[in-house]
Amino acid sequence: MAMPWEDFKTLLRTEFCPKNELQKLEVKLSNHVMKGADHMGYTTRYHELVALVPDMVPTLEKRIDRYVGGLPACIQGMVVSANPATVESAISKN
């Protein structure tokens, strides 16, 4: 008998990813900011965290907002003014 994908994901998370570990990852994503000029490191870690806690950024708009929100203020303005439609376009704007 087939299991719906969402049920399967919930089962896997319950079995292999304790709630406290998910909470730690959520905090890491919430606090994730670019340090210095390490754009590649910031972007790589952002993608890792989003893959681990996708429920924190369930829509494309939230993913873009979270990515841009972690950029330095001087870069945020440039990226926001470009009105990126995807995370990839936000990445290419900075």
Per domain, the residue ranges of the chain are 28-92
- Tell me what pLDDT residue 90 has: 92
pTM of this structure: 0.84
pLDDT at 13: 81
Q: Is the dihedral of CA 6, 11, 12, 17 positive or negative?
A: positive
Q: Which residue stretches of the chain have pLDDT < 50? A: none
pLDDT at position 19, please?
Answer: 87
Nearest-angstrom CA–CA distance, 68 and 57: 13
Sign of CA dihedral 93, 76, 34, 69: negative
Contacts for 24-27 with beta carbons within 8 Å, 24 or more apart? 25/49, 25/52, 25/53, 26/53, 26/56
